Amino acid sequence: MVHFAQSQLTDSGREIVIFTAYIENKSLQCAISYEALQDHFDGNTLKPIDTFVLNRRAIERIAEKLITQRRFESDDSILIRTSDC
């Protein structure tokens, strides 16, 4: 079972919002691109955290699906792109 931390932060250089998933007591870095927030969650690129918080449950479901499908990045993280939504 996947659980998610209730914290998040932005990386404006990479244009992502980062959040953490926990699987069997191991942490896994997850992120969603600003582009995905804007394209699928009517996000404002000036306030990506607000968009993330308002849509947290839907974003976590997408992350959980990618985890289940084992669609990890080369650094073993999960990145939600606009094509994943």
Instruction: Let me know if 10 is exposed, middle or buried by CB neighbors in 10 A (0-12, 13-18, 19+).
Output: middle
Domains and their CATH numbers in the chain: 2-84 (3.30.160.140)
Is residue 17 classed as helix, strand or coil in its secondary structure?
strand
pLDDT digits (tens, 9 = 90+) for 40-49: 998 777 799 9
Cα separation values, 7 from 10, 56, 70, 81, Å = 11, 10, 23, 20
Confidence of residue 74 (pLDDT cuts 50, 70, 90): very high
Residue 13 token pair? 């250089």
Percentage helix, strand, coil for the chain under 3-state DSSP, each rounded to 5: 35, 35, 30
Q: For the residues 4-16, what does the mean pLDDT come to?
A: 96
In angstroms, the CA 25 to CA 17 distance is 22
- Single-letter code of the amino acid located at 6: Q
